């Protein structure tokens, strides 16, 4: 088991002290990271002590420490999950061979690209969320925002470590560029579209952590299968932290649903906007938007890149080893959607060519689970409305649906019908302005803004009215 050097300038379990060149290079990157954090990280409460979880180990028990820290003093570290002895490649053309501890020359640029694309999303989301603390609905929520932010920062460290350690000069350049691209920057934007959209309000933040962080989970889970063992171990540990980000989203949206239910009952009405709540149909529109934007992140239904990554063993499927097939996928088929003569139908292709679609399917099933929980709360409250995932073709910019308009029910629409009806399905400017108007910061411990119910419990056995952020 790797030993943890927790007191080092960069806490780590990768024996940085044993590689002076690498250590010096990362220590030279560290002040650039801190400068980026100060400039583009959280814009307020920068020096307030926040009750944060810090990774200090990777073991089964006690991998994290909880305490109040000022964010710039957060101990961002490099942690890889423990190495699995005799691990073998689980899929693709090299199935059954030993995993790689170094990068094979022929896959160097593919691996670097995958790491850069993943790494770029981490600081991007911090930038997108940088003003949200000003309107946090409670100190509990503000703390959760900051928790997500510092851990996305650590995920950037995780990817930068791989770039520095395994990709030489190119890797160091890529690491610097991670701090030079910025979310929404017209001249030098983040790599993926969804990470250049602002996160303007807390309902969007909860939707983002529910839907978009969950895309991250699926990307990391398929990279965890990688034959490149250091990448696999890095992603394995990142997934531990990532789970909490999705918890923030799932419980956040759930608390909005609960508050809406309470207001509907209290005032005996479906329209809770006069009472400072968020109507169910507006919640549905936010779901429609964030879900469809997140589906795009999986890429086109069929993809030669994804097939090549799989054949090479560098990116697998979600839970690759639990699947009961040949793990080569050249002779097994599956259906992917296609649009012919104005009708949505499907065609059969090899599984190997449809890996993006397979990962998207797994993601969709996972998304549905949260909706089932929210819908259970609605049903138990005697409310007949349900929140639904729209059809996979709704509001898409990538893949076969890209040049078509599809209703949430899966009906193909003409441009005219789309233009006439899209406002029923996606938040209008007016509605976004309404949601924004609800966003007022609440900083008294235990108090909540009026549009969201309190959580059922606090963090790490602390009460809900704990001083999660000290003002």
Give me the residues that bind Fe ion (CB under 5 A), please: 122, 152, 155, 213, 242, 245
144: nearest Cα among 290, 65, 251 = 251
d(CA 308, CA 365): 25
Token pair of 349, please?
A: 């292709």
Q: Please, which residue, 213 or 301, has the CB nearer to Fe ion?
A: 213
By the 10 Å C-beta count (0-12 exposed, 13-18 middle, 19+ buried), 328 is classed as: middle
Vertex 324, ends 322 and 329: CA angle to 5°? 110
Q: Please, which residue, 100 or 291, has the CB nearer to Fe ion?
A: 291
In the complex, least distance from residue 363 CB atom to Fe ion, rounded to whole angstroms: 14
Q: Please, which residue, 191 or 328, has the CB nearer to Fe ion?
A: 191
Q: Please, which residue, 245 or 315, has the CB nearer to Fe ion?
A: 245
Q: Please, which residue, 152 or 201, has the CB nearer to Fe ion?
A: 152
Question: Which letter does DSSP use for residue 68 in this model?
Answer: E
In the complex, least distance from residue 81 CB atom to Fe ion, rounded to whole angstroms: 15
Angle 280-296/229-267 helices, nearest 10 degrees? 170
In the complex, least distance from residue 166 CB atom to Fe ion, rounded to whole angstroms: 20
In the complex, least distance from residue 428 CB atom to Fe ion, rounded to whole angstroms: 29
Q: Please, which residue, 5 or 122, has the CB nearer to Fe ion?
A: 122
The DSSP code sequence of 12-66 is BSS-GGG-HHHHHHHHHHHHHHHHHHHHHS-SSSTTSEEEEEEE---SSS--EEE
Q: Please, which residue, 243 or 379, has the CB nearer to Fe ion?
A: 243
The CB density around residue 241, as the number of other CB atoms within 10 Å, is 22
In the complex, least distance from residue 57 CB atom to Fe ion, rounded to whole angstroms: 19
By the 10 Å C-beta count (0-12 exposed, 13-18 middle, 19+ buried), 1 is classed as: exposed
The CB density around residue 416, as the number of other CB atoms within 10 Å, is 9
d(CA 320, CA 298): 17
In the complex, least distance from residue 179 CB atom to Fe ion, rounded to whole angstroms: 16
Q: Please, which residue, 136 or 248, has the CB nearer to Fe ion?
A: 248
Percentages (nearest 5) of helix, strand, coil residues in the chain = 50, 10, 40
Q: Please, which residue, 145 or 278, has the CB nearer to Fe ion?
A: 145
Token pair of 125, please?
A: 């989301």
In the complex, least distance from residue 11 CB atom to Fe ion, rounded to whole angstroms: 18
Q: Please, which residue, 155 or 224, has the CB nearer to Fe ion?
A: 155
In the complex, least distance from residue 59 CB atom to Fe ion, rounded to whole angstroms: 21
Task: Report the largest interatomic distance among the alpha carbons of the chain, rounded to a whole angstrom.
Answer: 68
In the complex, least distance from residue 110 CB atom to Fe ion, rounded to whole angstroms: 21
In the complex, least distance from residue 245 CB atom to Fe ion, rounded to whole angstroms: 4
Vertex 100, ends 94 and 103: CA angle to 5°? 105
Q: Please, which residue, 152 or 296, has the CB nearer to Fe ion?
A: 152
318: nearest Cα among 367, 368, 356 = 356
Three-class SS state of 181: coil
Token pair of 228, please?
A: 């490149």
Question: Cα dist. 371→189, 368, 375 in Å?
Answer: 32, 5, 6
Question: Which letter does DSSP use for residue 208 in this model?
Answer: I
In the complex, least distance from residue 242 CB atom to Fe ion, rounded to whole angstroms: 5
């Amino acid at each position: 088991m790797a030993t943890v050097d927790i007191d080092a300038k960069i806490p780590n379990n990768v024996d940085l002290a044993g590689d002076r060149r690498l250590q010096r290079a990362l220590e030279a990157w560290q002040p650039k990271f801190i400068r980026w954090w100060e400039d583009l990280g959280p814009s307020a409460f920068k020096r307030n002590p926040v009750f944060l979880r810090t990774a200090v180990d990777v073991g089964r028990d006690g991998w994290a420490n909880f305490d109040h820290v000022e964010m710039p003093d957060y101990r961002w570290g490099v942690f890889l999950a423990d190495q699995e002895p005799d691990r073998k490649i689980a899929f693709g053309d090299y199935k059954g061979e030993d995993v790689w501890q170094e990068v094979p020359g022929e896959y160097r640029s593919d691996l670097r690209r995958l790491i850069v694309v993943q790494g770029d999303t981490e600081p991007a989301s911090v930038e997108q969320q940088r003003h949200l603390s000003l309107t946090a609905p409670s100190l509990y929520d503000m703390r959760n925002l900051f928790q997500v932010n510092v851990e996305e920062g650590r995920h950037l460290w995780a990817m930068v470590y791989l770039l520095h350690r395994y990709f030489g000069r190119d890797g160091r350049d890529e690491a610097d560029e991670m701090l030079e691209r910025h979310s929404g920057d017209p001249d030098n934007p983040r790599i993926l579209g969804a990470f250049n959209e602002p996160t303007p309000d807390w309902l969007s933040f909860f939707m983002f952590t529910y839907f978009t962080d969950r895309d991250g989970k699926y990307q990391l889970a398929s990279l965890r299968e990688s034959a490149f063992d250091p990448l696999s171990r890095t992603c394995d540990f990142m997934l531990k932290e990532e789970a909490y980000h999705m918890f923030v989203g799932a419980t956040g949206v759930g608390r909005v649903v609960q508050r809406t239910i309470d207001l509907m009952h209290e005032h005996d009405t479906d329209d809770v906007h006069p009472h400072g709540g968020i109507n169910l149909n507006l919640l549905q529109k936010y779901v429609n938007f964030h879900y469809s934007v997140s589906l795009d992140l999986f890429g086109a239904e069929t993809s030669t890149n994804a097939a090549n990554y799989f054949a090479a063993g560098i990116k697998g499927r979600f839970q690759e080893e639990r699947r009961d097939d040949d793990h080569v996928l050249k002779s097994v088929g599956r259906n992917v959607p296609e649009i012919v003569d104005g009708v949505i139908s499907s065609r059969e292709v090899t599984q190997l060519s449809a890996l993006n679609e397979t990962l998207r399917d797994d993601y969709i099933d996972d998304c549905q689970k949260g909706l089932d929980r929210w819908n259970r709360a609605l049903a138990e409250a005697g409310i007949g409305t349900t929140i639904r995932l729209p059809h996979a073709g709704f509001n898409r910019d990538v893949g076969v649906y890209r040049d078509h308009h599809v209703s949430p029910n899966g009906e193909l629409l003409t441009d005219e019908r789309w233009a006439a009806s899209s406002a029923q399905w996606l938040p209008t400017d007016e509605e976004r302005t309404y949601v924004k108007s609800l966003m007022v910061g609440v900083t008294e411990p235990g108090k909540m803004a009026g549009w969201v119910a309190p959580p059922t419990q606090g963090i790490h056995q602390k009460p809900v009215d704990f001083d999660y952020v000290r003002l």
